[in-house]
Structures are given as structure tokens and as C-alpha cells.
Amino acid sequence: MALSTAERAKIRMYMGWSSRFLQEDVALTQAMNSVDNLPDVLALIQNPLAGSPPGYIAALEDIDAKLVAAHGRTKANKVGSIELNREEFKQLYREGKRLTSRLATLLGTEVITDVWSGRLPRTRFTHQGNYQVQG
């Protein structure tokens, strides 16, 4: 099944492209269009988390959900006899980067902004679809 509009929006977001002005990268758009005819590649992107293999979109969304859930555990290092993993956020961010890198490789495009870095974006997208590096 071809990539849906929602799946395309998620891919653009994880690849660091803004949805402002319906921002799209020509190479990324062409890559998403080309995989619509490749069922094996679509499976790698669209499979559910429990799929074999898990789909990249579902896996990236799962990491986002785990990051949100982890915020509630940052109030303590130890609860009773349970010691919490202080590296959890770093591990999740690294896994997000790894999966985004694989998605970029699969599509043959670059990641424009690292959404897993925790740093603020240093680019601004214009209505013409270009981006400019901010000082």
C-alpha cells in the first residue's frame, strides 16, 4: 500500500523537514514516491511495531512515546529497592538517531535537522521551500 499523507508527514518530521508552507524536499518526495512501488521497502517503513521486521515509522513513534513516559521517572534516581536508569534518555535518543539514519539510507536522502539531538533547529524554511542557516 502506498505511503499515506500522514506517513509522509511523519517521515518528513523525523527527517527534519518542516511542515510549514507544506515544506518538502524534492529528493525526499521523489524517494517517497518511488518506494510506493516497492512492497518490500514499504514493509520496512509501514509495518507495525510487532511486524517482522518492525516498521521504521512505528519504531520511531514508539521511541517518542517512551521518551514522554520517561519524563515521569526523572524525579528520582531510586525508588525503594529499584534504581532507575539515568541513561534512559540518552539511550532512547541514540536509538532514534540510529533508526532515522537507517530510514534516510533506505530512502537515499539526508536528514536536514536532527530531531533527536535536543538542540534547537538552526535553519528556517521559506515559502519557496528553501532553508537558510540562522546565525
Q: How many other β-carbons are positioned within 10 Å of the β-carbon of residue 14?
A: 23
Q: What pLDDT, on the 0 to 100 scale, is given for residue 14?
A: 94
Q: How sure is the predictor about 24, in pLDDT bands with cuts at 50, 70 and 90?
A: low
**b/e per residue, 88-107, with b = 16+ CB within 10 A?**
ebeebbebbbebbeebbeeb
Predicted model pTM:
0.79
* Mean pLDDT for the chain overall: 83
Which residues pair with residue 104 across a beta bridge? Answer: none
Q: Calculate mean pLDDT across residues 59-64.
A: 96
pLDDT at 52: 92
Tell me if the bond preceding 53 is cis, omega within 30° of 0.
yes
**What pLDDT was estimated at residue 53?**
92
